[in-house]
Amino acid sequence: MEKWNIKSALFIAFDHESSDSLSEVLIERGYQIFRVSNLSEALNILETEKIELVFIDTAKQSDSAKDVLVGLNSEIKYRDIVKIIIASPLEIKKSQEEYDKLGAYGYIIKPMSQRLISISLDTLIDQLESNKQSGIRRQDYSLLFNNFRDAILVANTNRQIIDCNPAFEELFGYRLDELRGKQTVSVYASEEDYKNLGTSIQDNKDSKGNFNYIVHYRKKDGTVFSGETSVFFKQDDKGNILAFVGSIRDVTERIEGEKALEISLTKYMTLFNSLPIGVTVADEEGKIIERNLMAENLLGISEEKKKQLMIDGKSWKIIRPDGTELPPEEFARVRALKENKLVENVEMGIVKETDDVTWLNVSATPIPLEGYGVVIAFNDITERKQIEAKLKESEAFIINTGEVASVGGWEVDLVNQTVYWSDITRKIHEVPEGYQPTVEEAVKFFPGESREKLTAAMEKAINEGEGYELELEFVSAKGNHRWIKTLGTPVMQEGKCVRFHGVFQDITNQKRSELKLAKYQENLEKLVVERTQELEEANQFLQKKNKDLEEMHKLFIGREFRINELRDELALLKGKLNPS
């Protein structure tokens, strides 16, 4: 009557004489026998033969029974081997608890006789068959309870507690004898959770594996915690459920951490997508793995292409501020990875598919996480670059205009007693490039009366906050005499002048023209006076001549009048002489 399906057995440290009775019983049942003298040889046999039954004599071996059990348990593949201890009643009484914990399945008492061995083996076989039918073997308990860190609870089909491991007792605070036979509702935080789990068990009872859930449990001291539970259905050969085995892990901290992480992630994503700058995260190869909304807007390309983008200049054209192409080795990302440090303020232009250029100011720093490369932050400086370009044009125009008009700028800091001259101002003074005078040196360029005028105007500006505009003579560093026009505007803080600033214009040519014009005007005025005098004298002469003419005219008219009178008198005389 062969009830056992084990086909081979291993004797450790048995001599032939003491093992004959045991061997005969096993051989009668058709089992192959292997004999070794120590644990090392046993492990070698186990590597090559399918051994399912091991007999360990506590008295005859060089390695202790405890060492053999530990050695067999060191490999997972050997833990299911049935281990039977051959020992005296005293040895079994003394060490059974320890042997049980190490996975001993059963015991045969010495001295051994064939009849006693047969009875013992039959008992062990019946026990083994019974345990196989119930799905719970003593060895399983020993390994599971003593080596598994999670709490394990075993319940029958009525959901009554039949066993638990030490980890369960430690987690919940109960001893097994306090729970055995009680409904599992005893360890749930609420009856509703208990009922809901019962429904889940019914829904999943046809499952060949296990199912997982998180439920609230209550400890003996009343503490409630979140337990992640995995339930396994122990079934017989026909698929009938024999017991429920559940492993429970306290995940309260994990859940709280997940909630905190979710909150942090929500905050991060909200901040990430609301930042007014573009932010991308790239791997070590430069491929973008994360980007915020601003980055998408600034990159300005299709969603499909974004998935293929590399931040190394291969997927788009990148240019320097001077318009030349920016090589990958100058990228902030590449430099940050190579130098393993923050790289800031790299200006580059992205030439889009439309040939428009988006100018970015880019910073990158390495991310010390596996699978990540760098985080890249960039802001759109296109408008600034456009303004700068216009400003440069304006500055160039102003500089050109200033050079043409010989107009420079200057500033005097009264707090620090420093003077600033622009390039054109230095050019007018004929001093070297970069020369910046002291206040005293600046004033010395003005000779005599001009220095007095300038000093007086500055003192008035300092005391009264009144600006000035002066035309002064000055002598350049090379000794050239010039005329300048200077305007000064005081800057007041809390009623006190802290600095001046203004313009400085070379008006030498203009002044010379004015002087020439003044000289010409002076000569013209003198000539006018002279001509006026001549005209007056001529007028007086003409007036005299006119008077003489008038007298002569009067004499002429009188003479004509007298001639006419004489003619009349002569005619009268003739008439008297010839009275016809």
Residue 76 banded pLDDT, cuts 50, 70, 90: low
SS3 366: strand
Range from 9-13, 16-20, 49-53, 318-322 carrying the lowest mean pLDDT:
16-20
Instruction: Report which of 58, 248, 262 is spatially closest to residue 170, judged by C-alpha positions.
Output: 248
**Separation CA 520–CA 125 (nearest Å):** 144
Q: DSSP assignment of 530-560, as one string?
A: HHHHHHHHHHHHHHHHHHHHHHHHHHHHHHH
SS3 307: coil
Q: Output the pLDDT for position 134.
A: 47
The tokens for 241 are 């459920």
Q: Could you report the per-residue pLDDT of 120-156, keeping only the tens digit for each? A: 666 666 656 555 544 444 455 465 556 678 888 888 8
Burial class of 26 by CB neighbour count within 10 A (0 to 12, 13 to 18, 19+): buried
Range from 183-197, 213-227, 419-433, 550-564 carrying the lowest mean pLDDT:
550-564
What rounded mean pLDDT belongs to the chain? Answer: 79
**Residue 200 pLDDT > 80, yes or no?**
no
Q: What is the mean pLDDT of residues 232-255?
A: 82
- Strand order across the beta sheet in which 53-57 lies: 32-36, 8-12, 53-57, 82-87, 106-109
Higher pLDDT: 77 or 11? It is: 11
Can you state the angle between helices 138-147 and 89-101, rounded to 10 degrees?
A: 50
Q: Could you report the per-residue pLDDT of 466-483, keeping only the tens digit for each? A: 888 898 888 989 999 888
Residue 226 banded pLDDT, cuts 50, 70, 90: very high
Q: Could you report the per-residue pLDDT of 100-113, keeping only the tens digit for each? A: 888 888 888 777 66
Q: What is the mean pLDDT of residues 185-205?
A: 83
Higher pLDDT: 156 or 534? It is: 156
**Separation CA 464–CA 461 (nearest Å):** 5
**Residue 401 pLDDT > 50, yes or no?**
no
**Separation CA 43–CA 69 (nearest Å):** 12
Residue 82 banded pLDDT, cuts 50, 70, 90: confident
Q: Which phi and psi angles does 526 have, rounded to 5°? A: -65, -40
407, 444, 456, 474 from 486: Cα distances, Å: 9, 15, 14, 11
Higher pLDDT: 526 or 457? It is: 457
- Is-contact 481 503, C-beta < 8 A? no
Question: If you search the block for the tokens 């670059």, which residue do you land on?
Answer: 385
Q: Which phi and psi angles does 124 have, rounded to 5°? A: -65, -40
Higher pLDDT: 87 or 557? It is: 87
Can you state the angle between helices 16-28 and 114-134, rounded to 10 degrees?
A: 50
Q: What is the mean pLDDT of residues 217-240?
A: 85
The strand ranges marked E within 422-560 are 468-475, 481-493, 496-506
Residue 558 banded pLDDT, cuts 50, 70, 90: low
**Separation CA 425–CA 408 (nearest Å):** 5
Q: For 186, which DSSP code?
A: G
**Separation CA 280–CA 467 (nearest Å):** 54
Can you state the angle between helices 89-101 and 65-73, rounded to 10 degrees?
A: 20
Q: Which helix (H) or strand (E) holds 120?
A: helix 114-134
Q: Output the pLDDT for position 365.
A: 92
**Residue 399 pLDDT > 70, yes or no?**
no
SS3 113: coil
Amino acid at site 119? I
Q: What is the mean pLDDT of residues 226-249?
A: 81
Residue 223 banded pLDDT, cuts 50, 70, 90: very high
Q: For 106, which DSSP code?
A: E
- Is-contact 225 250, C-beta < 8 A? yes
Range from 8-17, 353-362, 386-395 carrying the lowest mean pLDDT:
386-395
Residue 171 banded pLDDT, cuts 50, 70, 90: very high
Residue 87 banded pLDDT, cuts 50, 70, 90: confident
Q: What is the mean pLDDT of residues 257-261?
A: 88
- Is-contact 25 70, C-beta < 8 A? no
Q: Output the pLDDT for position 396.
A: 52
264, 295, 375, 401 from 274: Cα distances, Å: 15, 11, 17, 46
Higher pLDDT: 573 or 321? It is: 321
Residue 2 banded pLDDT, cuts 50, 70, 90: very low
**Separation CA 512–CA 524 (nearest Å):** 18
SS3 407: strand
Most confident of 203-212, 290-299, 522-531, 540-549: 290-299
